Amino acid sequence: MKIAIEGQRLFRTKKHGMDMVALELINELQKIDTENEYVVFVKPDEDKDTLKQTDNFKIVELGGGPYPTWEQFALPKAAKKEGCHILHCTSNTAPMNAGMPLVTTLHDIIYMESIALFKKSGTWYQKFGNMYRRYVVPTVVKKSDKIITVSNFERNRIGEFFGIPAEDDRLVAIYNGVSEHFRVINDQDELDRVKSLYNLPDRFFFFLGNTDPKKNTPGTLKAFSDYIKQTGDDIYLVMLDYERQALEKILSDIGDKDLINRIILTGYVVNTDLPAIYNLCELFLYPSLRESFGIPMLEAMRCGVAVITSNTSSMPEVSGKAAYIVDPYKPEEITEGIVKLLADENMRKDFIAKGLKQAEKFSWKHMAEDVLKLYETVYKKHYS
């Protein structure tokens, strides 16, 4: 069989969650499947070394305008021209008329919920993307032969939202993995290199906040502010790729403008440098309001750091009993978790040990094997 994989953003230099999942899937499929043919469609951009073409993996740079026109028109036309049997769209949307059997990965349907559109936070670009998805995804769900999502929580959520019965095998939960380069690092030179490169302080908490409302950036900053006020601790909060102006607005809203002096904004961090940051931090804060999976929790666990996360959506499912659980709508619970984990070394070590074991349960290889089986099922249905 010949499978088309949508990898629209994989050549962009600043890759994020869904991009990394698609990249890991392709990398693992290249290792485990030498029999079938693949065509990966990517929009032209700078980071062309991200993907390697092999005997059975063809990389096609495909123009076609902005994302909606690229996806709805250029992508299905090109996949048909290449003689593909199946189209797999990896990033929450797909053509409404694919012209061939369609597999769609819905990491989540947060964009279908009020949290995505109507909160004050979030960029206009994010809001436009959410509106586009709200328009196309109901049709895509109806037309997809298989819908992959990333947790049982999200499978149930999608099923309920779109009226898909629990026994309908079109909707499948396949867990994400966690990359092996996330690990405990004993190389002091590597830790020093990353610390110097991103101007990291000696002691800090790590928080992957952004402008998306689900990340609970205001609540996390309020919790950090309260922790500093309660304890007077000389510690910092490290955040990635966040604009200072947006941060100052949140700090003004929570009534602590001076907290800016305790926050380090690193800018974009390449994925290969992230393990060292996890290793250097004292705690990883992940108290999101809503997640479909939560890969960063597992990354932190593999790096031997205690995690604070939420009692909502998929996070208890993925973290198991290996993280300190809080109500993300109550900043005081986040603050309490920080205080407890720093005060009780045995508790902290226990979460670290449990986290290392929990992270071992998830791998990209297993994910790719499950996806390949799914391709085979779709192919047999249409071409046998």
pTM confidence score: 0.92
Smallest Cα–Cα separation from 106: which of 153, 39, 73?
A: 153
Whether residue 248 is found in the same domain as residue 118:
no
Whether residue 274 is found in the same domain as residue 233:
yes
Whether residue 146 is found in the same domain as residue 257:
no
Residues of the chain with pLDDT under 70: 114-127
Q: Are the C-beta atoms of 242 and 210 separated by less than 8 Å? A: yes
Give dist(CA 334, CA 41) in Å, integer: 42
Whether residue 60 is found in the same domain as residue 125:
yes
- Say what the pLDDT of residue 314 is: 97
Whether residue 252 is found in the same domain as residue 338:
yes
Q: Are the C-beta atoms of 56 and 103 separated by less than 8 Å? A: no
- Say what the pLDDT of residue 125 is: 56
Which DSSP letter does residue 212 get? S
Whether residue 204 is found in the same domain as residue 228:
yes
- Say what the pLDDT of residue 130 is: 77
Whether residue 84 is found in the same domain as residue 170:
yes
Within a domain: residue 183?
A: no
Within a domain: residue 182?
A: no
Give dist(CA 241, CA 3) in Å, integer: 34
Give dist(CA 109, CA 79) in Å, integer: 26
Within a domain: residue 68?
A: yes
Q: 317 Cβ partners below 8 Å, 6+ apart?
A: 151, 152, 153
- Say what the pLDDT of residue 123 is: 56
Containing domain of residue 14, as a range?
Answer: 2-177+363-383
Whether residue 378 is found in the same domain as residue 355:
no
Strand 171-173 relative to strand 204-207: parallel, antiparallel, unpaired?
unpaired
Domain containing residue 262: CATH number: 3.40.50.2000
Within a domain: residue 31?
A: yes
Within a domain: residue 134?
A: yes
Total domain count, the chain: 2
| Sign, Cα dihedral of 134, 135, 139, 140 | negative
Whether residue 66 is found in the same domain as residue 18:
yes
Within a domain: residue 164?
A: yes
Whether residue 128 is found in the same domain as residue 228:
no
Whether residue 114 is found in the same domain as residue 17:
yes
- Say what the pLDDT of residue 384 is: 87
- Say what the pLDDT of residue 119 is: 47
End-to-end, the C-alpha distance of the chain in Å comes to 11
Whether residue 350 is found in the same domain as residue 375:
no
Give dist(CA 204, CA 206) in Å, integer: 6
